């Protein structure tokens, strides 16, 4: 995707969420278990983005969210407190960059203690892209130490290994993580899929490279006209091929808008969510709920 303002740049813009919010009127999410996952990536923006996103999640009966928690800063706290959905907590920070290996275990422990209600934690996000960490280094120096600490101090926590970049080259990265022993230090392996399934880059390559169950922690399209097709056609095929119910659509809302988000950051005159122009996905999910 060729953009002056890239998705990676956008993710690094995530501001610290300084608003603590209690949203009244949320209903208990439908099917809060694993099967029937309606999952979305939710960016922890401050201000009115929080209640707008909570309202949208309630409207579409989303029962899982994936949210960046922050490491040196608590960006996810207001969202974790407000949602009634299950949470996949991403132990990552938008602007952290390189991570000191000796500081890393204490960082992981700090984040997990900050969120005692979360039982699923993903250990970093696309570590080569966001933290300059090679695939082997990630497994050896970040995933394994996190695993060892979690198993000792937080035995009920499920560990999700980081997904590599969501392009075809990510298949090779995923395989290299496996060869470095990633399966030994997690409960789930995460993948990002922003490419079509074809003979040169088949989605089955992920499953062949791991013994662990897979989570698709990001997938979506930057073309709003493709959002509904992604949900109704592409995602069911991903679930079938990778034998998973865990899929987190990217993304509910994005600021600034790059085409991935399915809603805007405004309400209409009746206080209702405004879908992203050209996207039919929010309306489809709301009407199906």
User: Residues 72-93: what's their mean pLDDT?
Assistant: 96
Report percent pLDDT > 90 for the chain. 85
What lies within 8 Å, CB to CB, of 162 at 6+ separation is 122, 123, 124, 125, 126, 127, 138, 143, 190
pLDDT at 12 over 70: no
The pLDDT, as a whole number, for residue 36 is 84
Mean pLDDT of the chain: 90
Task: Show the tokens assigned to 148.
Answer: 């060892």
- Least confidently predicted of 29-43, 141-155, 186-200: 29-43
The pLDDT, as a whole number, for residue 23 is 33
The pLDDT, as a whole number, for residue 2 is 32
User: Residues 224-250: what's their mean pLDDT?
Assistant: 97
User: Residues 227-246: what's their mean pLDDT?
Assistant: 96
User: Residues 272-289: what's their mean pLDDT?
Assistant: 97
pLDDT at 18 over 50: no
Q: Kindly report, residue by residue over 238-265, the tens digit of the pLDDT.
A: 999 999 999 999 999 999 999 999 999 9
Find the helix or strand (DSSP H, E) in which 8 lies: helix 7-12
Task: Show the tokens assigned to 261.
Answer: 């988000």
Among 130, 123, 109, smallest CA distance to 6 is for 130
Burial (CB count within 10 angstroms: exposed 0-12, middle 13-18, buried 19+), residue 95: middle
Q: Kindly report, residue by residue over 66-80, the tens digit of the pLDDT.
A: 999 999 899 999 999
Task: Show the tokens assigned to 189.
Answer: 């392996």
One DSSP character per residue, 103-153 reads THHHHHHHHHHH-TT--EEEE-SSHHHHH---HHHHIIIIIHHHHHHHHHH
Name the pLDDT band for 35 (thresholds 50, 70, 90). Answer: low
Domains and CATH numbers, the chain: 7-288 (3.20.20.80)
Q: Kindly report, residue by residue over 195-210, the tens digit of the pLDDT.
A: 999 999 999 999 999 9
- Least confidently predicted of 49-53, 78-82, 97-101: 97-101
Among 283, 183, 272, smallest CA distance to 231 is for 283
pLDDT at 267 over 60: yes
Report percent pLDDT > 70 for the chain. 88
pLDDT at 10 over 90: no
Alpha carbon distance 145, 254 (integer Å): 32
């Amino acid at each position: 995707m060729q953009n002056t303002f890239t998705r990676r740049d956008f993710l690094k813009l995530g501001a610290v969420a300084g608003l603590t919010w209690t949203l009244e009127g949320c209903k208990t999410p439908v099917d809060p278990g694993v099967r029937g996952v309606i999952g979305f990536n939710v960016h922890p923006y401050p201000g009115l983005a929080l209640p707008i996103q909570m309202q949208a999640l309630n409207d579409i009966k989303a029962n899982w969210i994936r949210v960046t928690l922050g490491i040196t800063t608590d960006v996810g706290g207001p969202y974790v407190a407000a949602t009634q959905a299950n949470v996949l907590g991403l132990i990552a920070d938008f602007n952290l960059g390189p991570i000191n290996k000796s500081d890393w275990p204490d960082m992981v422990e700090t984040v997990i203690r900050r969120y005692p209600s979360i039982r699923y934690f993903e250990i970093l996000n696309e570590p080569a892209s966001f933290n300059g960490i090679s695939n082997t280094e990630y497994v050896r120096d970040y995933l394994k130490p996190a695993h060892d600490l979690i198993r000792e101090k937080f035995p009920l926590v499920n560990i999700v290994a980081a997904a590599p970049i969501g392009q075809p080259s990510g298949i090779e990265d995923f395989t290299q993580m496996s060869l470095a022993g990633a399966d030994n230090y997690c409960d789930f392996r995460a993948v990002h899929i922003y490419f079509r399934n074809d003979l040169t880059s088949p989605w089955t390559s992920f499953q062949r490279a791991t013994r662990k169950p897979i989570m698709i922690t990001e997938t979506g399209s930057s073309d709003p006209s493709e959002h509904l097709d992604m949900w109704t056609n592409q995602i069911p095929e991903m679930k079938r091929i990778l034998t998973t119910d865990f899929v987190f659509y990217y993304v509910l809302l994005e600021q600034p808008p790059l085409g991935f988000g399915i809603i805007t950051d405004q309400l209409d005159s009746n206080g209702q969510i405004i879908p992203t122009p050209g996207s039919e996905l929010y309306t489809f999910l709301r009407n199906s709920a």
